[in-house]
Structures are given as structure tokens and as C-alpha cells.
Amino acid sequence: MPEASPNRPAPARPRTPKPRTRRGQDTRDSLIKAAEAVIGEVGFAAASIADITRRAGIAQGTFYIYFQSKDEVFRELVLEMGKLTRGFLADAVADAPDRLTAERRGLRAFLSFVAERPALYNIVMEARFVAPDAYRAYYTTFARGYAQNLAAAAREGEIRDGDAEVRAWALMGMAVTLGERFAIWESEVDPDALVTEVFDMLERGLKP
């Protein structure tokens, strides 16, 4: 590894073309699914292409018909995770009467999501080291939407004024860590109680 570039300058990805056949699409799907399982369980470094193709029930070489490298599947997975999470949260929050309720439901939904797909969650976390740009994009995209919602709510007078971006990152950070601690590690704490507790602090503050 002569040049380990921390800031890879837009890898100029030529993009493996999409499958042109039903069969091809199916194979690709199997690979993605297997990759999620394997990489999510044992981590990127420990997951070999052989592991992935074996799990998918497919020959090794076939992998390279659909992805240029191990890196590329990984990125694909991060992208997918982004879409899934955003969709899931959007649904959970869709008909909330106000922003604070929406936030509460959002956190609750996030915890459920993490508990149900720990593998995908691990992949996003590991992206910080395997695909920093994808990782950043994931959180930045999230934060943007989050901040917009908070700003709008402040405008409506639903919450006090304040820096929406800072708040967005602070809230996201809470969610991420709480998810890891109470949804992935074993937890004695009931998720609903957890959310209630957190929002007591967030809504009313810590001051007596």
C-alpha cells in the first residue's frame, strides 16, 4: 500500500452497468443480500468475496460481473441503507400532529429499525473507515432534512428558536448512540420508556 489516500478524490467510478436480463438482476440481488449479511456480521475486512458468493450460492468470478470490487458492493449497501432508513422514518413520522411528536416517533422508529437490521447498521458505521465519502453523504443527507424540519418548526413557533443545524446533529448523535447502546447491545430498558425519558429532557430541559 504505497499511497493510502485518506481523501480519495472522487474515484472516477466507471460504474458497472446494470444487468440487462431478469436472470442478471436476480443474481445481483442475491449478491447484495449475501453481502449485507456477511459484511454486516463479520465486518468488511473479515468478509471475503468467497464468503459472499458462497452464501449467495454463486461462483466467485460471477461477483465481478456485477461489482468492480469489494469496495463497490459496500458502497452500494451504504446507499441502500440510506434510502431504507429515510423511507422508514418518513413513514413513521408522516402524520404526526407537530414537530415534537414527529421527533419522538422518529427516534422510536429509528430504534426499531436498528434493532431489526443490525447488520445494515454496522455497515453504515464501518463506512466511516471503508468508504468515508459514502459515510459522510449518508449523514449529511440526513442532517439536511432534519435541519429543515427543525427550522420550519421554529418558524411555526412549535419549538424555541435556535441553530437548526447544530440541533440536528446533536439529535442525530443521540439517536445513533442510543441505538447502539439500547437496541444493539442487550438492554434492560424498554424502548418506549427510553424515548419518554429522552424527550422529557429534550422538551423541558434539565433545569429544575
Partner DNA sequence: CTTCAATATGACGAATGATTCATGTTTCAG
Partner DNA sequence: CTGAAACATGAATCATTCGTCATATTGAAG
CB of 14 to a copy of itself, least distance (A): 23
Question: Residue 56 carries which side chain, given as an amino acid letter?
Answer: A
CB of 176 to a copy of itself, least distance (A): 6
Among positions 84, 129, 144, 155, the unique one binding a copy of itself when judged by CB under 8 A: 129
Which residues have CB under 8 Å from 51's CB, separation 6+? 38, 42
Assigned C-alpha cell, 14 = 466507471
Look at residue 111 and give the partner it binds from a copy of itself, DNA, none, a contact being a CB closer than 5 to 8 Å depending on partner kind: none
Neighbours of 18 (CB within 10 A): 9
CB of 33 to a copy of itself, least distance (A): 18
Among positions 29, 87, 181, 192, the unique one binding a copy of itself when judged by CB under 8 A: 181
**Interface residue list for DNA (CB under 7 A):** 1-2, 19-24, 26-27, 46-50, 58-66, 69-71
CB of 21 to a copy of itself, least distance (A): 33
Report the distance separating Cα 71 and Cα 11, nearest Å.
11
- Mask of contacts with a copy of itself, 19-58, x by CB under 8 A? ----------------------xxxxxxxx--x-------
CB of 130 to DNA, least distance (A): 12
- 99-102's contacts with Cβ under 8 Å and 24+ in sequence apart are 99/149, 99/150, 99/152, 99/153, 99/156, 99/158, 99/159, 100/153, 100/158, 100/159, 100/199, 100/203, 102/149
Report the distance separating Cα 208 and Cα 196, nearest Å.
18
**In 3D, which of 193, 77, 176 has the Cα closest to residue 127?**
77
Among positions 144, 155, 162, 192, the unique one binding a copy of itself when judged by CB under 8 A: 162
**In 3D, which of 119, 63, 111 has the Cα closest to residue 88?**
111
Binding site for a copy of itself (CB under 8 A): 1, 4, 6, 41-48, 51, 100, 122, 125-126, 128-129, 136, 139, 143, 157-160, 162-163, 165-167, 169-178, 181-182, 185, 189, 193-194, 197-198, 200-208
